[in-house]
Structure 1
Amino acid sequence: MAAAGACLFPSGLSPALRRRGGAPAAASSSQNPILRSSLTSRCAVSEEQASSASPGTTIPPSRPVSFGEYGRRYEKGASDRSSSTPFMDDVELESGRERLRRFFDQAKDLTRSDGGPPRWFSPLECGSRLEKSPLLLYLPGIDGTGAGLTSHHKKLGKVFDIWCLHIPVMDRTSFPDLVKMVERTVKSENCRSPNRPIYLVGESLGGCLALAVAARNSDIDLLLILANPATSFDKSQIQALLPFLELMPEQLHLSYPFILSLMAGDPSRTFKASTEKGLTPQQTAGELSKNILTMSSYISVLADILPKETLLWKLQMLKSASAYPNLRIHAVKAQTLLLTSGKDWLLPSQAEGARLNEALQRSSIRKFDACGHFLFLEDGIDLITIIKGVGFYRCGKGLDYVSDYLPPTPAEYRNVNESNRWFKEITGPVMLSTLEDGRIIRGLDGIPSKGPVLYVGYHMLLGLELVPLVSGVLNQRNIHLRGIAHPMLFEKYRKGQTLDPQFFDTFRMMGAVPVSGTNLFKLFSSKSHILLYPGGMREALHRKGEEYKLFWPEQSEFVRMAVKFGAKIVPFGTIGEDDFGEVFFDYDDQMKIPYFKNWIHQLTEDNGKVRSNAAGEVANQDVHLPWIRPKVPGRFYFCFGKPIETAGRKQELKDREKCHELYLQVKSEVESCMAYLREKRESDPYRSIFSRWMYRATHNSASEIPTFEP
């Protein structure tokens, strides 16, 4: 049974003790009768506990009690990832204004009972989650309410078991004691489920808390997500204002408008959002005025959350909080994701993020240049989307790229699709497929709908075909291709790399997995649609004059496994790179210049080689970036050959020679598809981008641009 409102329990209490109905002295509220009374009215008591409870006694619940009227209880097993749709369930993102309103509504409700020690609560609105969801402990910033993730609860709650730390307004627990409280919970939950990872999501002060707990518990499987951690508080300008804030009367406390402005973020983003909606100047002015009035109404709530004495206490605590983990940073072994804002007026967060990224052993960093200090309240920031992009979600001891994969939601895919719309408009992709009777048709009706299916093709220069290929198959056939990718997409960003670490986030979100026999086996086992390029990096980073030349290994690499699972093999060809650019400064040229040669060797050493034991051209997998001379854009063409059946051929293909024959057949089919496209495109009246623009100008913008007759 659940009481209404914010139901909380002391954070230092071991879950094992909670289930037995016991409570350690350090977490007991018996020394404060008023606190005990208010806490009793806000906690749920299980039936077996209620039967043995005496009147006026507070009995902590066995799990974090769900919060508020914002959702329904978790029902074990209610969530199922085996749906026919390739997407996760969607949850609409709230605007920045709505996020702020929701935060203050929940913060106000949480602060009604401000007595007692710090405690955990589990948001009721999280809904149903996966059965083996990892635990996520949210550690708040200086507000201490625990409501900072409120706008993310529904999406996070589908894949995490979420507990939020609430620090009551008048609580004066020191930072070291907070560390011990969180540590007790971490150790208890790890003991209860040793194979389940524990996520610590901390912002500002909570980031210091997460690092401190991780430094003291290097033997526990922790994953840290730190949003603008306050480890750089000694460099904050606000320290100089502390004496001034102490002398200022509470009625004239200017810190509340300042903190509120930090929560609201950059006002120019509100103006930009209004103009993007097509609002008139008068309507935009009205929106901004409404925002100002709404913000002013939150000052009184903020004063309740952070009265002068509490605010000064938290700011003083930040001094010790920032120093504590900095002295122990070398002991942090946890996998860490750093999220930093470019317009954090409270802390030098981006500089600090770079420092921590260098100091931590297993870290990744993502920067949000237009965001302020309270990152999770910012418009457009979606924590679960960030986690997917970084590949930071797992349910067990190690990351399983197949079973731990979280597909995009329809909204996430729309954002990816929209961000690449310009490229698809420029390339004007034409997609053809082959029916069972051998006829080639426009569209993708010829590709199989049920997996496992292995798509084997030519890797164009720089992998330019990937965006139109993956999105085209998903849009036309609702089939999600899982690409086998180079390990460099999954490595930690290092100094000297040319690409921003966020460049590959879309590939990871769309399901790319590192190339390995194990991952290929698991994808086949899950009946996936798999995208494989046997030519790999050697093909995608080819030399001058090598366009449309296959660089496949001499020995077959995928045939035996495809036959083992009875998978269909779909060979496909793609052309068009020669209508977009021409390599003029390639690998051979770069290796003649010492500067570029050293740079290539360093990149290759950092990212590792694939097929380092192979012989021939395909073994040369040095990481480099060919220079390309652009051309007036032409058009991309894709042709999927007739699917090759492997079901029922296990005995036949036990012979290595037979496997090699099938391998050569697939390669020949890919070459035939490309030869067909190169011949047929000559008769395409809309091969040029100018002819396609003219067609768009005279026809419905949604209409399909014609091409040659297949």
Structure 2
Amino acid sequence: MATAVPYLAPLLPPAAACRLRRNRIRLSAVGTRKLLDDSEVEPRGVADFAERSRDLAARTVGGPVRWFAPVECGPPAVESPPSLFFLPGLDGVGFGLIRHHQRLGKIFDVWCLHIPVTDQTPFVGLVEYVERTVKSEQSYSPNKPIYLVGESIGACVALAVAARNPNVDFILILANPATSFLHSQLQTLSVLLDVVPVPFQVMLPNCLSLLTGASGEDEVSQRAIRVFREDHAHIFPPFSFLADLLPKEYLDWKLEMLRSASLFVNSRLHAVRAQTLLLASGMDQLLPSREEAERLHKSLPNCRIRHFNDSGHTIFLEDGIDLVTTIKGATCYRRSSQIDYVSDYLLPTPSEFQKAADQYKWVDLAASPVMFSTLKDGKIVKGLEGIPTEGPAVFVGYHMLMGWELGHLVSRLFTERNIHLRGIAHPFMFDRDIELIMPDSSSFDGIRLMGAVPTSPANFYKLLLRKSSVLLYPGGTREALHRKDEEYKLFWPEKPEFVRMASRFGAQIIPFAVVGEDDLFKVVIDLDDLVNVPFYNLLHKRLNPDSVKLRTDYTGEVANQDMHPLGLLPKIPGRLYFLFGKPIDTQGRKEELRDKERAQQLYLHVKSEVENCIAYLKKKREKDPYRNILPRLLYQATRGFSAEVPTFEL
């Protein structure tokens, strides 16, 4: 066994690693209700990667392939975390996730593969080595998924292991996989950079000679070297430590491994059934990663893509990329054989919360939302004082056009009342195939990070069981994508869908309304117009596959929960107004509300309260001197743009 360096757990073979994992001391489970704070995470960067890789590579020259557990990952902060195995790129050192170790360690049991720089284990040998490890892990935890995170050739190893073991529950996270190597249009020097990124003055002439037979002294070669140095000089420092360790034969070996890995994996893609998340860089100078991700998506039946348009090949070492956030947003985090959107959910960290809230910042700037709530005695007050902070609770309201109220609603309740709303969302926002037709495949990641769950009685039940605060829109898509001149019209089903479930847990029902959509946009093209457009039916089928249908047992307008685009005409921005009605307590009414008639009466009461809130806001906003954006801007210009703008008097 090799001597461990200060920042590593001992380097171990798979069997010993599994024994260490069993004996590792864990923190007491904090569950998923505690906010995982990332403010204490130490920033790591390329310099840390180079330093630690240099040290580890120098200590293990000639040693065998092995696993190590970075000590900085620490013990997990969640109960029963799944294991994550990192498979590095061609550098093989294993520190490629150094920027993510601390955050990954909170929710995973992390192990990294180390391949000594002079090791010549063939590709199939690496596959078999990883395979033995995951089989041992599966026997120890048969009901947990096994995460394989691979970059470049490491992604090829992950795919090969998954193809050879279709009955193992893998979740593959693949960054810029080298499966495109044989079909790459990369320039010769770009290929060499991935093969052996060492200083030009030491190795490049030999590299050129190796691949092209040129000495590196001719004018063409010198010009290529000069251009390549200028374009890619920033990439070399992290890998310069390899210059003194690599023999010339290493180049031949790595090139051959790339070829064999690409051939091996591409011939077996049809056998991969694992859940897969592809991370594709848009500025990858070594491989056509964006195009390759699209190709792999067509071959892998359970695959999602996340594009990083401004990132290069070494995506995990770049600033602005958070692997944990990406995994969570793509709903790829689970701790059992099936994802549980309630128990597997992890609260957003402060930075994740802020990033999600920033997506709606334009609403705050343009519409200056103002909120009111109702006290127990029926008095309406400005602010959120009347909203109970203890769950379980069901917030039931009118679904504003396109859901523009969501960002401000969720963020204000969280920051001012410490209420984390878990929204009941259309399954459209969770469907893999829908992501492909969105302008950005990560369009709904922020909503999922904030806790949205697919619509289902089971998810509603589980949330109330955990005493959560649930956001529910009975009108659903029909309200959010309404027709012309239908603003503030409720399209609720006749059945009391949520009342008896709420009473079962004694949940409080908080009716609420939002007014102001008609001050922001006007609907000029609705579904009635779209159905007359030639070939719109083709788009409709893609937007509404059978897998995302809702309320199929209903008839009439309420059954129309289909997704469709809208044509909107912006207006001079008005203002958004929120009003939360008096909370309706169902505690102790479980038996009473088993009666269908009584449940129906309460349901109609909730609906009328929402309508009353709408009517109140529509009337009172006429007396708001700052309803229009111009008076608001003048007010803030004289008192500071952080000043709260007044509204109508109560």
TM-score (norm 1): 0.83
Aligned to 2:202: 252
CA shift in 2, pair 1:544/1:296, >3 Å: closer
For residues 455-502 of structure 1, the C-alpha deviation after alignment (integer angstroms, 9 at most, x for no partner) is 000001111111111112112212111000000100013587244221
Q: How many correspondences in the alignment?
A: 621
Aligned to 1:649: 589
CA shift in 2, pair 1:304/1:533, >3 Å: farther
Question: Contact 1:433–1:444 (CA<8 Å) still a contact in 2?
Answer: yes
The AA in structure 2 aligned to 1:511 is G
The AA in structure 2 aligned to 1:142 is L
Secondary structure of the residue aligned to 2:584 is: coil
Which among 167, 172, 176 is matched to residue 115 of structure 2? 167
Aligned to 2:268: 328
CA shift in 2, pair 1:305/1:133, >3 Å: farther
Partners of 2:384 and 2:452 lie apart in 1 by 22
Shift of 1:590: 1.3
Partners of 1:227 and 1:573 lie apart in 2 by 44
Partners of 2:174 and 2:60 lie apart in 1 by 28
CA shift in 2, pair 1:572/1:168, >3 Å: same
Aligned to 1:575: 515
The aligned runs of 1:32-71 (5 Å cut-off) are: 62-63=19-20
Matched, 1:81 2:43: no
Question: Contact 1:256–1:303 (CA<8 Å) still a contact in 2?
Answer: no
Which among 84, 87, 96 is matched to residue 136 of structure 1? 84
Partners of 2:424 and 2:498 lie apart in 1 by 12
Question: Contact 2:118–2:246 (CA<8 Å) still a contact in 1?
Answer: no
Which among 200, 219, 222 is matched to residue 170 of structure 2? 222
Question: Contact 1:9–1:64 (CA<8 Å) still a contact in 2?
Answer: no
Aligned to 2:53: 107
Aligned to 2:128: 180
Deviates more, 1:601-610 or 1:466-475: 601-610
Shift of 1:94: 6.7
For residues 528-578 of structure 1, the C-alpha deviation after alignment (integer angstroms, 9 at most, x for no partner) is 010000000111111111110000001110001100000000000111111
Question: Which consecutive residues of structure 1, in runs of 5 or more, have no partner in the other structure?
Answer: 19-59, 66-72, 259-288
CA shift in 2, pair 1:250/1:477, >3 Å: closer
CA shift in 2, pair 1:417/1:78, >3 Å: same
Aligned to 1:527: 467
CA shift in 2, pair 1:363/1:304, >3 Å: farther
Matched, 1:391 2:331: yes
Matched, 1:624 2:564: yes
Matched, 1:429 2:369: yes
Shift of 1:435: 0.5
Partners of 2:452 and 2:125 lie apart in 1 by 43
Shift of 1:607: 5.2
The aligned runs of 1:588-599 (5 Å cut-off) are: 588-599=528-539
Partners of 2:543 and 2:18 lie apart in 1 by 53
The AA in structure 2 aligned to 1:453 is A
For residues 332-385 of structure 1, the C-alpha deviation after alignment (integer angstroms, 9 at most, x for no partner) is 000000000011111000000110011110000010111100000011111001
Aligned to 2:320: 380
Aligned to 1:149: 97
Aligned to 1:270: none
The AA in structure 1 aligned to 2:62 is G
For residues 416-457 of structure 1, the C-alpha deviation after alignment (integer angstroms, 9 at most, x for no partner) is 233432221112111100001111011101011100010000
Deviates more, 1:673-682 or 1:316-325: 316-325
Partners of 2:110 and 2:310 lie apart in 1 by 28
For residues 60-115 of structure 1, the C-alpha deviation after alignment (integer angstroms, 9 at most, x for no partner) is 883369xxxxxxx96323351366x6x222146676xx510111122122111223
Question: Contact 1:458–1:670 (CA<8 Å) still a contact in 2?
Answer: yes
Question: Contact 1:484–1:514 (CA<8 Å) still a contact in 2?
Answer: yes
Secondary structure of the residue aligned to 1:62 is: helix
Matched, 1:601 2:532: no
Shift of 1:295: 7.6
Aligned to 2:68: 121
For residues 638-685 of structure 1, the C-alpha deviation after alignment (integer angstroms, 9 at most, x for no partner) is 000000000011121121000000000000000000000000000111
Shift of 1:703: 2.0
Partners of 1:550 and 1:393 lie apart in 2 by 36
Partners of 2:645 and 2:554 lie apart in 1 by 44
CA shift in 2, pair 1:308/1:702, >3 Å: farther
CA shift in 2, pair 1:451/1:365, >3 Å: same
Partners of 2:398 and 2:435 lie apart in 1 by 31
Deviates more, 1:688-697 or 1:497-506: 497-506
Aligned to 1:371: 311
Question: Contact 2:32–2:344 (CA<8 Å) still a contact in 1?
Answer: no
CA shift in 2, pair 1:64/1:521, >3 Å: closer
Secondary structure of the residue aligned to 2:75 is: coil
Aligned to 1:470: 410
Question: Contact 1:538–1:618 (CA<8 Å) still a contact in 2?
Answer: yes
Matched, 1:490 2:430: yes
Superposed CA RMSD in Å reads 2.7
Question: Contact 1:573–1:639 (CA<8 Å) still a contact in 2?
Answer: yes
Which among 147, 157, 163 is matched to residue 199 of structure 1? 147
Partners of 1:238 and 1:622 lie apart in 2 by 44
The AA in structure 1 aligned to 2:61 is D
For residues 570-623 of structure 1, the C-alpha deviation after alignment (integer angstroms, 9 at most, x for no partner) is 000111111111112111121123322332133212652110111221111222
Secondary structure of the residue aligned to 2:280 is: strand
CA shift in 2, pair 1:606/1:92, >3 Å: farther
Partners of 2:479 and 2:417 lie apart in 1 by 27
Aligned to 2:624: 684
CA shift in 2, pair 1:243/1:393, >3 Å: closer
Partners of 1:322 and 1:225 lie apart in 2 by 17
The aligned runs of 1:294-305 (5 Å cut-off) are: 298=238, 300-304=240-244
TM-score (norm 2): 0.90
Aligned to 1:403: 343
Matched, 1:455 2:395: yes
Partners of 1:319 and 1:128 lie apart in 2 by 38
Question: Contact 2:9–2:70 (CA<8 Å) still a contact in 1?
Answer: no
Deviates more, 1:620-629 or 1:668-677: 620-629
CA shift in 2, pair 1:550/1:229, >3 Å: same
Question: Contact 2:199–2:240 (CA<8 Å) still a contact in 1?
Answer: no
Partners of 1:552 and 1:296 lie apart in 2 by 61
Secondary structure of the residue aligned to 2:535 is: helix
Question: Contact 1:576–1:636 (CA<8 Å) still a contact in 2?
Answer: yes
CA shift in 2, pair 1:192/1:361, >3 Å: same
Shift of 1:301: 1.1
For residues 23-68 of structure 1, the C-alpha deviation after alignment (integer angstroms, 9 at most, x for no partner) is xxxxxxxxxxxxxxxxxxxxxxxxxxxxxxxxxxxxx883369xxx
Partners of 1:185 and 1:417 lie apart in 2 by 41
Partners of 1:299 and 1:126 lie apart in 2 by 23
Partners of 1:583 and 1:403 lie apart in 2 by 39
CA shift in 2, pair 1:706/1:251, >3 Å: closer
The AA in structure 2 aligned to 1:543 is R
Question: Contact 1:88–1:409 (CA<8 Å) still a contact in 2?
Answer: yes
Question: Contact 1:79–1:128 (CA<8 Å) still a contact in 2?
Answer: no
Shift of 1:243: 9.8
Question: Contact 2:396–2:471 (CA<8 Å) still a contact in 1?
Answer: yes
